[in-house]
Amino acid sequence: MNDGVAALHASVDHPAKMVDGFGPDRIRQPAYPAEWTVADTLSHLGSAAVIMRRGFEEGVAGRDADGDVNQSVWDEWSAKSPDDQAADALEAMPPSWPCWTRPPTANSKRSTSPWAR
């Protein structure tokens, strides 16, 4: 695996490992920055993944990404419950993309938190 792909794998695995085992109460607690909860932070990562995926898919199709879509993605994620923000964020990250092939590794682990789908 090349270094870029390995870095992408690590960037996705790290948040999932950090919140593994967090329950509904923990994801509603402050994160860093303290103005955000853990769910808010995961929502930020999840919405960014959705925006990146759309841009990637548009680029592969030879089209320019529509930057106007970003606000609708942010609005959609802001309207989700904390439980859905957390679960959906882990599902939105690159390994869930149809174009992404990810062989399982000894270090790969998806969250087993009760809110994870």
**Tell me, what's the pLDDT at 77?**
95
Give the number of other CB atoms < 10 A from CB of residue 81: 12
**Tell me, what's the pLDDT at 21?**
85
pTM equals: 0.73
**Tell me, what's the pLDDT at 12?**
73
- The Cα 16–Cα 73 span in angstroms is 21
**Tell me, what's the pLDDT at 80?**
96
Burial class from Cβ neighbours inside 10 Å (0-12, 13-18, 19+) for residue 102 reads: middle
Q: 10-residue block means of pLDDT along the chain (117 residues)? A: 70 78 92 89 92 85 85 95 92 65 48 47
- The Cα 72–Cα 76 span in angstroms is 6
